[in-house]
C-alpha cells in the first residue's frame, strides 16, 4: 500500500488547478487598465467618458438603460483617480485593450457610446475591429478633433507643433492651474453650474501627463480616411450652442460634422440646439430620445 502522504503533492496540485480554474475570470479582469462599473441586464452597452472624466458622467444614462441593458461604464487609466499607464500611443493601447475586454467576456455585438475622446476611441475600435461593435454612438466627437476648429482641410502635419505645445503645457500643470483652466473652460461645455462641480472634481483627480498625452494624440491622429472600414450603424450626436458667442453658427458646425464623417455614409448626424459639449448632461431627455430611437427601443 502506498502511504497517504505520497498522494499529497498530487492532491495539492489538483486542488490548485481547480482553484485557479474557478478564479480565472476574476484574476483576468484585474489586467485591464481601465476601471469598470457594471450594472443591469440584457444586451450590452459600453459607455466611455471624455477627457478628465470618470465613468460617473454616464450615471444618468446607466440609470436609464440598466433595466433593459447590461451597462459597463469605463474610467480610463489616468482619468479621475484611475491609475495611469505608460504608452507612446495611449489611445490605441486603450482601444486594443477594450477589444480584448469585449472578447474575453464574450460580449456579443455591444453598443459603444463614447463622449468626446471616448467617441474617438469608439470610432477607432470600429475601424480596427469592425466585427466587434453592434452599434456606435459618438457624442460631441469626430474622427479628427482639430478639424472642428481649423476646418476640414486641417492635417496632422499642420497640427503637430500645436499639439506638442499643448502637451507640454498640460503635462506640467499644477493642481491650481488645472482648477483655473477648468473654471475657464467648463462654462462653455456644461450649461448648469451645478453639473460642473463633479466634472471639476474628476479633473482635479486626473493625471496631468496622461491628459496631455491623449490630447496630443487627438490632435495628431486623423481617422477620417478610415471611416469606410466601419460596418456597423453609427449615430453622431452633435452640439453647437456653446460656441455661438465665438461667431460659430449651427450650419457651420453641421457642415463640419458632415465633412468629417463623409467616409461613413451610414452615419446619422443629429444636432442638439440646446445642449453644450456634455450633451448627455445638458439635455438628457433629448439624448435618450435619440439613442432610444437608434437602439430600436
Q: Where are the domains of the chain?
A: 24-295
β-sheet with 35-40: strand ranges across: 35-40, 69-75, 43-48, 111-115, 135-139, 234-238, 267-271
What is the per-residue burial (b if ≥16 Cβ within 10 Å, else e) of 15-29?
Answer: eeeeeeeeeeeeeee
Q: Which helix (H) or strand (E) segment is 267 a member of? A: strand 267-271
pLDDT reported for residue 4: 35
The full length of the chain comes to 297
Q: Where are the beta strands (DSSP E) in 163-249?
A: 234-238
**How many C-beta atoms surround the C-beta of residue 228 within 10 A?**
12
Q: Which of 142, 143, 134 is nearest to 294 (CA)?
A: 134
Whether 147 contacts 154, CB under 8 Å: yes
CATH of 24-295, one of 3.40.640.10, 3.30.2290.10, 3.40.50.1820, 3.40.720.10: 3.40.50.1820
User: Residue 244 is placed in which grid cell?
Assistant: 455661438
Quick: pLDDT tens for 156-195: 999 999 999 999 999 999 999 999 999 999 999 999 999 9
Q: At what angle do helices 117-128 and 90-104 cross, to 10 degrees?
A: 60
User: Residue 11 is placed in which grid cell?
Assistant: 492532491
Phi, psi of 83 (to 5 degrees): -55, 140
Q: Which of 255, 262, 221 is nearest to 240 (CA)?
A: 255
Phi, psi of 238 (to 5 degrees): -120, 160
| Residue-level pLDDT, tens digit, the chain, 297 residues | 444 334 333 333 333 333 333 333 333 445 899 999 999 999 999 999 999 999 999 999 999 999 999 999 999 999 999 999 999 999 999 999 999 999 999 999 999 999 999 999 999 999 999 999 999 999 999 999 999 999 999 999 999 999 999 999 999 999 999 999 999 999 999 999 999 999 999 999 999 999 999 999 999 999 999 999 999 999 999 999 999 999 999 999 999 999 999 999 999 999 999 999 999 999 999 999 999 999 996
pLDDT reported for residue 297: 64
Cα separation, 215 vs 207, in Å, equals 13
Angle value at C-alpha 19, between 16 and 24, nearest 5 degrees: 120
Cα separation, 211 vs 228, in Å, equals 29
The answer, as to whether pTM is greater than 0.75, is yes
**How many C-beta atoms surround the C-beta of residue 135 within 10 A?**
21
User: Scanning the structure block, which residue is given the C-alpha cell 497640427?
Assistant: 159
pLDDT reported for residue 83: 98
User: Scanning the structure block, which residue is given the C-alpha cell 491650481?
Assistant: 176
Sign of the Cα pseudo-torsion (190, 60, 62, 76, in order): positive
Cα separation, 137 vs 206, in Å, equals 25
pLDDT reported for residue 27: 32
Cα separation, 168 vs 25, in Å, equals 40
Question: 111-115 and 43-48 as β-strands: parallel, antiparallel, unpaired?
Answer: parallel
Amino acid at each position: 500500500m502506498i502511504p497517504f502522504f505520497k498522494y499529497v503533492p498530487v492532491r495539492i496540485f489538483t486542488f490548485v488547478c481547480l482553484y485557479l480554474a474557478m478564479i480565472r475570470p476574476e484574476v483576468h479582469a484585474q489586467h485591464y487598465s481601465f476601471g469598470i462599473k457594471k450594472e443591469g441586464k440584457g444586451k450590452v452597452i459600453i459607455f466611455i467618458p471624455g477627457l478628465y472624466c470618470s465613468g460617473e458622467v454616464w450615471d444618468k444614462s446607466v440609470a436609464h438603460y440598466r433595466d433593459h441593458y447590461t451597462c459597463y461604464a469605463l474610467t480610463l487609466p489616468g482619468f479621475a483617480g484611475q491609475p495611469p499607464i505608460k504608452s507612446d500611443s495611449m489611445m490605441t493601447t486603450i482601444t486594443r485593450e477594450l477589444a480584448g475586454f469585449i472578447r474575453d467576456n464574450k460580449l456579443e455585438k455591444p453598443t459603444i457610446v463614447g463622449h468626446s475622446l471616448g467617441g474617438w476611441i469608439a470610432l477607432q475600435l470600429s475601424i480596427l475591429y469592425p466585427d466587434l461593435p453592434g452599434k456606435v454612438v459618438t457624442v460631441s466627437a469626430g474622427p479628427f478633433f482639430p478639424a472642428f476648429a481649423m476646418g476640414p482641410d486641417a492635417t496632422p502635419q499642420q497640427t503637430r507643433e500645436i499639439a506638442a505645445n499643448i502637451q507640454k503645457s498640460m503635462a506640467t500643470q499644477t493642481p491650481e492651474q488645472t482648477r483655473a483652466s477648468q473654471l475657464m473652460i467648463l462654462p462653455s461645455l456644461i450649461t448648469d453650474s451645478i453639473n460642473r462641480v463633479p466634472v471639476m472634481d474628476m479633473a482635479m483627480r486626473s493625471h496631468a501627463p496622461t491628459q496631455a498625452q491623449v490630447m496630443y494624440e487627438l490632435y495628431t491622429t486623423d481617422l477620417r480616411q478610415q471611416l469606410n472600414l466601419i460596418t456597423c450603424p453609427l449615430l453622431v450626436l452633435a452640439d453647437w450652442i456653446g460656441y455661438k458667442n465665438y461667431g460659430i453658427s449651427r450650419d457651420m458646425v453641421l457642415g463640419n460634422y458632415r465633412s468629417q464623417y463623409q467616409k461613413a455614409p451610414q452615419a446619422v448626424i443629429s444636432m442638439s440646439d440646446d445642449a453644450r459639449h456634455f450633451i448627455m448632461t445638458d439635455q438628457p431627455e433629448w439624448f435618450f430620445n435619440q439613442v432610444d430611437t437608434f437602439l430600436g427601443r
